[in-house]
Structure 1
Amino acid sequence: MTEKPTVLFVCVHNAGRSQMAAGWLRHLAGDTVEVRSAGSEPTDRINPAAVEAMAEVGIDITDQTPTRLTWDTAEASDVIVTMGCGDACPVFPGKRYEDWTLADPAGQPLDLVREIRDDIRTRVVDLLAGLRRAR
């Protein structure tokens, strides 16, 4: 792993789970980790409920845009975390993978999106601790 690890969060639409995870990691890691997110079938905008849930904890993800997952992005990442994209998320040999089973916040009430947000935070904290131990 490089001095500054690169983490890629991937979900189908790159509008909810992966954006919240990226927001948490940027917030918690500062500039010690390069953070990316992408989707196998990105939508045109971030889920407004995800934006609202993250804003409640002081994290602004409104400047992010759903992005299509590319081979180059995955290849340039040290850790790839997938969230519910199943076979749509390709496997890249030699990469560290984590697959997080999380509910999709799309179309869900804000209370459920908050639960997903908090679950993601716990997982990001654990991921960051592992990255710091690996250095």
Structure 2
Amino acid sequence: MSTVPATGRKSMPGLVNPQHELHTIAVELAERFSGVFAEETVDRYVFESYTALARTAKITSHLPALTAKFARDRLTALAQSKGAAAHNVPEVLFVCVQNAGRSQMAAALLDHHAAGRVHVRSAGSAPGAGIHAQVVEAMAEIGVDLSQEFPKPLTDDVVRAADVVITMGCGDACPIYPGKRYEDWHVDDPAGTTPAGARLVRDQIDARVRELLAELVPPDRA
């Protein structure tokens, strides 16, 4: 039976005892990835994901649910990079500093336009506590919901799984692996800007995303 050891692991603020929740998550993910990863690997990913999110999460009561999503996506990425999970469409990773603005916008827009023809992830080199309110509002204006998204730390597994890595203002934080396409998009940071400024950034990113999608999935293959 999968378990998350409690030894040396302190509860994070806002959760009196997260061990039961983490144990439940680990058991479910171990079953999901049975035959791909050992239970010990799943346990480690669950706890590491929880710890990473707890450092920055604004609403700690949601941490177990966020941990489950983050750990599942990381394990999927790891399985893809090892050839143990399907990799049927291009994988794109967007990275900025906080994963609270530009990279979230880009990932949501590409996912929206691609409609399943591309798989998208996003991450931050120093993730913030939550997505900027003006970014959520600007995206909602065009029918793209970011209310359930959250900043995620940049991890090696999601970089390894990506075919294309797009960075936006995070410098050299993203590791470089051969065989991947890397681009750096120079786009203003919407943090602290006005609603009009957030819309401008959104539209700039949208234009770039549409160009990227046309390259990854040409119209004659759509």
Match in the other structure for 1:131: 216
* Corresponding residue for residue 103 of structure 1: 188
Distance between the aligned counterparts of 1:82 and 1:125, measured in 2? 16
Hey, what's the Cα distance between the residues in 2 that align with 1:58 and 1:96?
A: 30
1:18 lines up with 2:87 in the alignment: no
Letter in 2 for 1:15: A
Structure 2 unaligned blocks of 5 or more: 1-86
Higher relative contact order (CA closer than 8 Å, sequence separation 6+): 1
RMSD: 1.4
User: Residue 113 in 1 paired to residue 198 in 2?
Assistant: yes
> What is the correspondence of 1:1-135 to structure 2 with a 5 Å cutoff?
3-133=88-218
SS in 1 for 2:175: coil
Structure 1 range deviating more: 82-91 or 38-47: 82-91
Q: Higher Cα Rg: structure 1 or 2?
A: 2
Distance in 2, matches of 1:89 and 1:106, equals 21
Cα distance per residue 1:22-76 (max 9 Å; x no partner): 1101110011111100000001111111000000111101111100011111000
Aligned length: 134
Give the strand-richer structure, 1 or 2: 1
Structure 1 gap segments, 5+ residues each: none
SS for the counterpart of 1:8 is strand
